[in-house]
Chain A
Amino acid sequence: MDYLSTIFQEVYKILFLLIPVLVSVAMIVWLDRRVWAFVQKRQGPNVVGPFGLLQSLADALKYIFKEIIIPASSNKVIFILAPIITMTLALISWAVIPFGVDQVLANINVGILYIFAVSSLGVYGIIMGGWASNSKYPFLGAIRSAAQMVSYEVSIGIIIINVLLCVGSLNLNDIVIAQKNMWFIIPLFPMFVIFFISALAETNRPPFDLPEAEAELVAGYQTEYSGMMYAMFWLGEYANILLMCALGSILFLGGWLSPIDLYPFNILPGALWLVLKILLLFFLFALVKAIVPRYRYDQLMRLGWKIFLPFSLIYVVLTASYLFYFNLLPIN
């Protein structure tokens, strides 16, 4: 009986996290399209529901009722597995995101490594989808995307090392608490900029959306997908974007901490602040999508390997020597 009640409690907690994440993914798609439209002096989706808020719901309904077409020459098991893996991996990272001091599903010691590991697994959904489609464009898109994600992961890893040097712990809650006096965006501002750009590349957002560059590759690895399977890829992609925004706000913007530690602000729940910071970062993501043209592939690789990687490595050395010289290294 004891086991059962524990299991029920955990399931309840998981649903309490999962359903808001899924709903906010749908809302964030609407926000993305809306911001994109406003930058281009259009209206964007504004018909379904108030301000068009229910547009994503309508889209999802449409996808559910569409027929799923599985190409005859595809590798069927892997073809079906690919969107499921993308979606699952995008959602399980949320388990370690802290929304408050004790409002976290799994407060594990290596939270940041867990997120990093799961996001590095995200490549497989794309490669599997591209390969199993057994068609030219998806395969090219998958290869591009895999190369892109692997190379930008390296610089994200080194940026995370920068933050960890200042914290001295891999626990996400410790990272947030370490920013009580000063958010890491102030001492590590260049790292924040590089993190933001790498996050764009990691989630295949414009200007780095080469895997699905419609002018060259139709729709990249998603070309052969239809109906609900396409929608799952799409949801997974946006859940990943939200996760990257959450990671950025935890690493650099103080997570669930309030911006000013004064009376009216610090009684508000931490989750609200985290959501506001995620929204701010996502707004930047959406703006970048609207105002920047697409990179060429060799430029993308050059940016990742020849500029971001050396720069963030140098910054690791600088941070470490600064902390060492002024005896600020966190030793516990």
Chain B
Amino acid sequence: MIAHAIFFYIFSIIAVISAIMVTVSKNTVHSVFFLILDFISISCLFIMIGAEFLGMIMLIVYVGAVAVLFLFVVMMLNVAQQKNRWFISEDNSGHIPFGLIISTVIFFELIIVIGGWKYKPDLLNPSNLNVLNKISNTHSLGQVLYTEYIHIFQISGMILLISMIGAIVLTFRQREGVKKQSYLKQISRERSDGVTTVNVEIKKGVKIDD
């Protein structure tokens, strides 16, 4: 048990410190790296409570895909200067009230959740989730996800699909005057379409239409 506790504290300390560093560090790219460290230590905590499937999915989805996109955006858009401006100049502090409102809301939500956990544990009782020790938690998750919560699962999938289609529609545009390659055209080209033999008359030349 002692080893368990030691590892728990190591991971949670890393998680908390890196979460603080995400907001504190000056360089935006460093913030993203600290965010990744945070994700990794959180997934280690998931694995420690026995939810190994969730921990791995956390790594694959958040660290392997979402954070890479974050990193792309941060590297490409030069957010660093903007972040500095927000922090340093006084006239641009319109973000601070918003931040305060959001953080108070989150704070009260946390108080409600943790208070409920402490004083009314039966509110959070997962009555229809009987976790058996015989089957692995991937199996038990699948059994609940595809029977009890199938509609919610499907709806969340649809939401993701719609947002994906929306993103494609927003960014897709066809420009005029841009040569596009058509693989079908290229492959189905025969010698007779491309090569012609012309008898060139002297001092007249040929006119090639392109």
A235→B64 CA distance, assembly (Å): 22
B72 and A146 within 8 A (CB): yes
B138 and A109 within 8 A (CB): yes
Residue B3 interfacial (CB < 8 Å): yes
A117→B61 CA distance, assembly (Å): 9
Residue A323 interfacial (CB < 8 Å): no
Least CB distance from A104 to B in Å reads 16
**A122 and chain B: residue at smallest CB distance:** B64
The answer, among B27, B36, B56, B64, for a CB contact under 8 Å with A153, is B64
**B58 and chain A: residue at smallest CB distance:** A117
A221→B57 CA distance, assembly (Å): 28
**A108 and chain B: residue at smallest CB distance:** B52
A153→B59 CA distance, assembly (Å): 13
A131→B70 CA distance, assembly (Å): 14
Least CB distance from A81 to B in Å reads 9
Least CB distance from A183 to B in Å reads 24
Residue B75 interfacial (CB < 8 Å): yes
A161→B138 CA distance, assembly (Å): 14
A117 and B56 within 8 A (CB): yes
Q: How many residues of A contact B (CB 8 A)?
A: 28
A30→B57 CA distance, assembly (Å): 37
A153→B68 CA distance, assembly (Å): 13
The answer, among B27, B36, B53, for a CB contact under 8 Å with A113, is B53
Contact code string A143-175 (vs B, CB < 8 Å = 1, else 0): 100100010010001000000000001100000
Contact code string B119-142 (vs A, CB < 8 Å = 1, else 0): 000000000000000011110000
The answer, among A113, A124, A131, for a CB contact under 8 Å with B57, is A113
Least CB distance from B96 to A in Å reads 29
A58→B202 CA distance, assembly (Å): 66
A146 and B60 within 8 A (CB): no
Residue A80 interfacial (CB < 8 Å): no
Q: For residue B53, which residues in chain A have a CB less than 8 angstroms away from its CB?
A: 109-110, 113, 170
Give A residues with C-beta under 8 Å from B: 3, 75, 78, 108-110, 113-114, 116-118, 120-121, 123-124, 127-128, 131, 139, 143, 146, 150, 153, 157, 169-170, 298, 332
Q: 16 A-B pairs, CB-CB below 8 angstroms?
A: A75-B27, A108-B52, A110-B52, A113-B56, A113-B57, A116-B60, A117-B59, A120-B60, A120-B63, A121-B64, A124-B36, A127-B71, A131-B29, A150-B64, A169-B136, A170-B138
